[in-house]
Amino acid sequence: MQPVDHQNQDSKNESSIFASIVLSTIIIGVLVFLAIVAVKYIKPKSYFKQIFGGKTYETTPASKDLPVLREAKETIQLSKIVGLRDMLQKHEFDGLNAALEKYQHLFEQDQTDEYKVYDAYHAFYLTDPLYEESLIKWINRFPDKYQPYLALAHYYCAKGWESRGYKFSKETSKQQFEGMQFNFFRAEENIKIALEINPDLMVGYD
């Protein structure tokens, strides 16, 4: 049995690797050269147009003055949301109407200032039945105002998700789905009334 010449074998492997690198470099160089020639002399856009037909369109550069970026508007503080709930519990309905009308007016003046009115009504995204009683009293006191209807709609929306639960559908009972649909239906009814009073309520379309 003849001994294996490891040194000679390693030398052959190194030569093979070097040859592969050189060949790859040559191929890449040729491809780059052909690409440069094609772009400079053949004009691919015109070439493909002749082959496939059809129209070509020039792109219009975007204006540098487009307002694609803007600073985020400030929303209301948590203390304001707590204050709205406190007024509801104390049945200070005049104050609630005025506060919510103010946020709606700010939005109508500047549509980018939408967060305040959204977060203001989110104050009524509650599930405690005691709040429902206060919301209904608010409607009875001011049946021609949109604010209490929109607030009650947020309450029923929260109740709908509470009824459904947060598990997968296969783990959710038929009664839970029915409870969700019932509360969502009541929310929709109140939203419709609010929009009849004031069609400009963006919160009502969300």
Domain shared by 98 and 184, yes or no: yes
Q: For residue range 151-198, list pLDDT tens digits in order.
A: 999 999 999 999 999 999 999 999 999 999 999 999 999 999 999 999
Domain shared by 43 and 89, yes or no: no
Domain shared by 40 and 88, yes or no: no
Q: Which domain holds residue 46?
A: 8-52
Domain shared by 172 and 112, yes or no: yes
Domain shared by 181 and 90, yes or no: yes
Radius of gyration of the chain (CA): 34
For residues 21 and 33, what is the distance between their CA atoms, to the nearest angstrom?
Answer: 18
Domain shared by 91 and 45, yes or no: no
Residue 20 scores a pLDDT above 80? no
Domain shared by 48 and 87, yes or no: no
72 belongs to a structural domain? no
The pLDDT of residue 11 is 59
188 belongs to a structural domain? yes
Alpha carbon 28 to its chain centroid, in Å, reads 45
62 belongs to a structural domain? no
Overall number of domains in the chain: 2
For 91, the token pair is 């049945």
H-state helical runs in the chain: 6-37, 44-52, 78-89, 93-109, 115-122, 129-141, 147-164, 174-197
Domain shared by 136 and 182, yes or no: yes
Q: For residue range 75-133, list pLDDT tens digits in order.
A: 888 899 999 999 999 999 999 999 999 999 998 998 887 889 999 999 999 999 999 99
Q: Using 50, 70 and 90 to split pLDDT, how confident is the model at 52? A: low
Are residues 106 and 116 in contact, defined by beta-carbon separation less than 8 angstroms?
Answer: yes
Domain shared by 85 and 46, yes or no: no
184 belongs to a structural domain? yes
The pLDDT of residue 132 is 96
Are residues 121 and 127 in contact, defined by beta-carbon separation less than 8 angstroms?
Answer: no
The pLDDT of residue 39 is 61
Q: List the one residue out of 200, 137, 129 whose CA is nearest residue 162.
A: 129
